[in-house]
């Protein structure tokens, strides 16, 4: 199902509100009109009952022979009058009156004065029942037999005219209601469109942009809505960040290409010169040694580039228990040849039984680079020492790699950790990627990396939290 | 001809020095800007090969210093920086040629030779004096079409005479152009070269080409 636009959703909601309001209002109106009609009918019936009561009490001959008149006469006649005026005992019709002490007839309504509804065929009759009770004066000498039975009188009213009136009233009011609610819905839609206008403009601008093809982020519209303006500002900010990352990636690629150019150029120049003329075997082998040296540089660089990529896209660290002493023995073994060639002594100090919960591969990336740098940047000759020490500091494990040497220049210190920055630019060794890899791997381990350097010594300290990684 | 190479990449500098030396160039190679500035001010070079990304600064700094002092030594920038902006900057600062790494050595060699000739306002690669012809590109010398075998240093001296024809060249001047900073030569080594060259030329039928100007030096007539 295609998702609806915000505008369509608002229009649909407004339409539903319109329909629901119209239906509810119509029902309320109908009920109100019906209640009002019932109340009016009850008033008429009450008045009629009072009139009948007065009529009974005023009959001089003791005979109910009253005339039905008024607006309801037609209805009484047409609707079986006998049903409307029903005496419980026909003899009561003969009440003897005429003396001052003649019996009076009291009138009261049955069923607590409530009207009831009875159906005659399709006709609904609303009626009230009146009880007339003769009350005889104590001094009256006449026969009391005729006066003992109460008289029951039913007053009824056909509901149909009222119902028709109700329906007519409701029918004439509903269009007005529909108009009012339609107007309300239109205003609601206008307001909604006004509210979503900025959002729609922003959405359309972004929707039509093709960043992949042009690398140009669209110029976002100026908007008035505070919330949409905040979204647009955030988008601009995100775009700036994305652009910086994008530029950094290309910059990295360019720098990597430049780094690759150097050993390639060295190989080509060496081979070009070597192949220009006949060479002795010794001369040829010397040239090949130079080519091999350039190949090693290229190999080292590509290995570092692959490590950089792995670090950047690595997922969660795979934590396991590692014996630090054993780990560094393996590392030292791997670098023994390089250390020997540069007359550098490698030494491990600290707690030999220390174990650490960490990611083996990330630790290897960190310390292979740190140890390699420490060896390469140590002065060649007797006395150069690269020392690795490991100690537990509270919940953390602190590992330092230190070397003697000329230290890191202040201007280089600021950018250490950025790709292709060398600790000593005068050195021909190193790809400039080692500390960048170390920084990235340390971040994966939530470890803190500190580098201190003076004119005689450089100390790199890695503080690895233990609780955090093991929990 | 004497060349200064300012290149911090060890293998590249080494290869250029070796390759040019084998082509009878006297090559001084330094790997820092500071050393490059020092050497360029201490000696007169026929061409300067300059890397830009040096450990202690940009090669353009050296170029600026040279041009600000009016030195017209041809400069060939040899760098990995290959954008148009870099090239434009280089030429605006007064470089004479621009070659990007990686490069083919033969191309570098041809460019260096062309620049060297240009310094002496000679635009033909084949230089001649009567029946004697010297091909600066092929590194050959012929007399009446027959090849004349010369050593690298003899070729370099003869080439210098051709390039500075009619100019009197002192022994020091000649030595400056054919020996590097590290070379050790005696005071009379130039005279020995000239005599050997004269003998070879005379054997080929060319006489009195190189004239001695007493107390001053030699001149090619």
Q: Provide the pLDDT for residue A55.
A: 63
Give A268's contacts in chain B (Cβ within 8 Å).
Answer: 102-105
Task: Write the DSSP string, A361-426.
Answer: HHHHHHHHHHHHHHHHTSPSSTTEEEEEEEEEETTEEEEEEEEESS---HHHHTTBTBTT--S-TT
CB contact under 8 A, B12 and A262: yes
Q: Is the dihedral of CA A218, A221, A222, A225 positive or negative?
A: negative
Block mean pLDDT (10 aa), chain A, length 471: 73 85 89 87 76 60 41 38 34 35 49 66 72 57 51 70 85 87 84 79 83 75 82 88 84 83 92 92 93 90 88 83 91 89 87 88 91 84 82 88 77 66 51 83 90 84 74 39
**């082509």: which residue's tokens?**
B23
Q: What is the DSSP letter of B74?
A: -
Q: Give B206's DSSP letter.
A: -
| Chain A residues 273-332 with CB within 8 Å of chain B | 273, 276-277, 290, 293-294
- Distance (Å, whole) CA B19 – CA B105: 8
Tens-binned pLDDT, residue by residue, of chain B (221 aa): 899 999 998 999 999 999 999 988 999 999 999 999 999 998 889 999 999 988 888 999 999 999 999 888 999 999 988 889 999 999 999 999 999 999 999 999 999 999 998 888 888 889 888 889 999 888 899 998 899 999 888 888 898 898 888 889 888 888 888 888 777 666 578 888 888 889 998 888 888 888 888 888 898 87
> Cα–Cα distance between A285 and A382 in angstroms, integer?
30
Residue among A258, A273, A296, A411 with most chain B CBs within 10 A, to mutate: A273
- Which residue carries 């369509």 as its tokens? A8
The pLDDT of residue B109 is: 94
Terminal-to-terminal C-alpha distance of chain A = 44
A270 in contact with B, Cβ within 8 Å: yes
pLDDT at A129: 66
Min CA distance, A262 vs chain B (Å)? 7
CA distances from A206 to A215, A219, A229, B62 (A): 13, 9, 14, 50
For tokens 């729609």, name the residue: A200
* Buried residues in B147-172 as b, exposed as e (16+ CB within 10 A): ebebeebbbbbbbbbbbbeeeebebe
Question: Chain B within 8 Å of A258 (Cβ-Cβ)?
Answer: yes
* CB-based burial, A207-228: b 16+ in 10 Å, e otherwise: eeeeeeeeeebbebeebebeeb
Chain A: give the shortest CA distance to residue B32, in Å.
Answer: 9
Report strand pairing: B2-6 vs A384-393. Answer: unpaired
Note whether A426 contacts B: Cβ–Cβ < 8 A.
Answer: yes
Interface contact A269-B16, CB threshold 8 A: yes
Task: Write down the residue that tokens 């060479």 correspond to.
Answer: A279
Q: Does A266 touch chain B (CB under 8 A)?
A: yes
Q: Could you please report the per-residue DSSP string of B88-157?
A: HHHHHTT-SEEEESS--HHHHHHHHHHHHHHHTT---SEEEETTEEEETTTTEEEETTEE----HHHHHH
CB atoms A265 and B103 under 8 Å: yes
In a mutagenesis test of the B interface, which of A254, A260, A272 is the best target, namely the one with the most B β-carbons within 10 Å? Answer: A272
C-beta atoms of B19 and A266 within 8 A: no
For residue A44 the two structure tokens come to 């008429």
Determine phi and psi for A373, rounding to 5 degrees: -60, -45
Contact at CB, A258 and B80, closer than 8 angstroms: yes
Give the closest of A269, A425, A426 to B12, CB-based.
A269
Q: In the A/B pair of chains, how many CB contacts fall below 8 A? A: 69
Given a contact cutoff of 8 angstroms between Cβ atoms, the answer to whether B219 and B210 are in contact is yes
Residues of B in contact with A269 (CB under 8 A): 11-12, 15-16, 19, 102-103, 105
Q: Are B15 and A266 in contact (CB < 8 Å)? A: yes
Name A156's Cβ contacts closer than 8 Å, sequence gap at least 6.
Answer: A45, A76, A79, A83, A84, A118, A125, A126, A127, A128
Burial class (CB in 10 A: 0-12, 13-18, 19+), A371: buried
Maximal CA-CA distance, chain B:
55
Chain B residues within 8 A of A426 when measuring between CB atoms: 32, 55-56
- In chain A, which residues have their Cβ closer than 8 Å to the Cβ of B105? 268-269, 272-273, 276
The 3-state DSSP class for residue B83 equals coil
- Residues in chain A with CB shorter than 8 Å from the CB of B14 are 270, 290
Q: Are A265 and B80 in contact (CB < 8 Å)? A: yes
Residues of chain A with Cβ-Cβ distance to B101 below 8 Å are 261-262, 264-265
- CA–CA distance, A10 with A200 (Å, rounded to integer): 13
Does A266 contact B105 at a Cβ distance shorter than 8 Å? no
Give the residue from chain A lying closest to B13, CA to CA.
A266
Q: List CB contacts (< 8 A) between B139 and chain A.
A: none
Q: Are A266 and B9 an interchain contact pair (Cβ–Cβ within 8 Å)?
A: yes
Residues in A touching B103 (Cβ below 8 Å): 265, 268-269
CB nearest to B11's CB, from A258, A276, A293: A293
Three-class DSSP labels, A314-331: CCCCCEEEEEHHHHHHHH
* Contact: B18, A273; criterion CB under 8 Å: yes
**Residue among A262, A294, A426 whose CB faces B80 most closely:** A262
- Residue written as token pair 């990304």: B53
Does the ipTM surpass 0.85?
no
Cβ separation B102–A264 shorter than 8 A: yes
């Amino acid at each position: 199902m295609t998702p609806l636009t915000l505008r369509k959703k608002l229009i649909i909601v407004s339409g539903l509100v319109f329909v629901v309001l119209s239906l509810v209002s119509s029902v309320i109106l109908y009920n109100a009109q019906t209640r009002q009609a019932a109340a009016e009918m009850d008033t008429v019936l009450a008045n009629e009952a009072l009139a009948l009561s007065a009529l009974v009490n005023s009959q001089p001959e003791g005979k109910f022979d009253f005339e039905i008149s008024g607006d309801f006469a037609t209805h009484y006649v047409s609707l079986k009058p006998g049903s409307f005026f029903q005496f419980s005992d026909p003899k009561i019709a003969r009440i003897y009156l005429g003396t001052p002490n003649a019996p009076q007839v009291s009138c009261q309504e049955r069923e607590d004065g409530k009207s009831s509804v009875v159906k005659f065929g399709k006709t609904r009759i609303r009626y009230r029942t009146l009880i007339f009770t003769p009350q005889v004066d104590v001094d009256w000498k006449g026969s009391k037999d005729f006066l003992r039975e109460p008289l029951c009188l039913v007053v009824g009213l056909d509901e149909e005219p009222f119902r028709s009136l109700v329906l007519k009233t409701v029918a004439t009011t509903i269009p007005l209601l529909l108009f009012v609610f339609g107007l309300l819905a239109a205003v609601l839609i206008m307001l909604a469109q006004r509210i979503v206008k900025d959002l729609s403009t922003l959405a359309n601008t972004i929707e039509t942009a093709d960043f992949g093809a042009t690398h140009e982020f669209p110029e976002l519209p100026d908007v008035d809505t505070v919330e949409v303006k905040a979204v647009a500002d955030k988008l601009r900010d995100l775009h700036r960040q994305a652009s910086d990352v994008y530029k950094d990636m290309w910059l990295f690629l360019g720098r990597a290409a430049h780094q690759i150019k150097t050993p390639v150029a060295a190989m080509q120049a060496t081979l070009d010169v070597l192949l220009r003329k006949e060479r002795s075997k010794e001369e040829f082998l010397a040239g090949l040694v130079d080519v091999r040296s350039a190949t090693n540089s290229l190999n080292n660089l590509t290995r570092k580039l692959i490590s950089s990529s792995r670090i950047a896209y690595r997922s969660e660290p795979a934590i396991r228990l590692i014996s630090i002493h054993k780990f560094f023995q393996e590392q030292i073994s791997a670098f023994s040849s390089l250390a020997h060639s540069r007359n550098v002594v490698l030494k491990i100090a600290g707690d030999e039984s220390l174990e650490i919960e960490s990611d083996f591969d990330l630790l290897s990336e960190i310390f292979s680079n740190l140890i390699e740098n420490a060896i390469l940047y140590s002065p060649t000759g007797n006395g150069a020492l690269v020392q690795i020490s490991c100690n537990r500091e509270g919940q953390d494990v602190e590992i330092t790699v230190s070397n003697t040497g000329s230290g890191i220049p202040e201007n280089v210190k600021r950018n250490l950790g950025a790709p292709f920055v060398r600790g000593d630019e005068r050195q021909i060794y190193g790809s400039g990627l080692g500390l960048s890899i170390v920084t990235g791997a340390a971040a994966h381990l939530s470890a803190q990396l500190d580098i201190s350097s003076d004119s005689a010594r450089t100390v790199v300290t890695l503080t690895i939290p233990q609780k955090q990684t093991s929990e | 001809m004497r060349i200064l190479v300012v290149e911090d990449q060890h293998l590249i500098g080494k290869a250029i020095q070796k390759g040019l030396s084998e082509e009878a160039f006297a090559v001084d190679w330094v790997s820092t800007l500071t050393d490059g500035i020092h050497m360029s001010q201490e000696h007169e070079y026929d061409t300067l090969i300059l890397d830009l990304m040096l450990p202690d600064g940009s090669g353009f700094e050296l170029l600026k210093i040279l041009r600000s002092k009016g030195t017209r030594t041809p400069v060939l920038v040899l760098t990995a920086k290959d954008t148009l902006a870099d090239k434009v900057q280089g030429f605006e600062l007064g470089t004479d040629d621009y070659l990007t790494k990686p490069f083919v050595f033969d191309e570098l060699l041809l460019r260096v030779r062309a620049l060297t000739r240009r310094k002496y306002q000679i635009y033909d690669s084949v230089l001649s004096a009567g029946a004697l012809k010297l091909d600066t590109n092929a590194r050959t010398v012929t007399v009446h079409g027959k090849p004349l075998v010369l050593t690298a240093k003899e070729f370099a001296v003869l080439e210098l005479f051709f390039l500075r024809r009619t100019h009197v060249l002192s022994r020091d001047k000649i030595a400056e152009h054919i020996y590097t900073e590290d070379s050790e030569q005696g005071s009379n080594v130039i005279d020995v070269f000239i005599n050997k060259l004269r003998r070879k030329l005379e054997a080929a039928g060319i006489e009195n080409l190189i004239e001695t100007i007493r107390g001053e030096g030699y001149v090619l007539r």
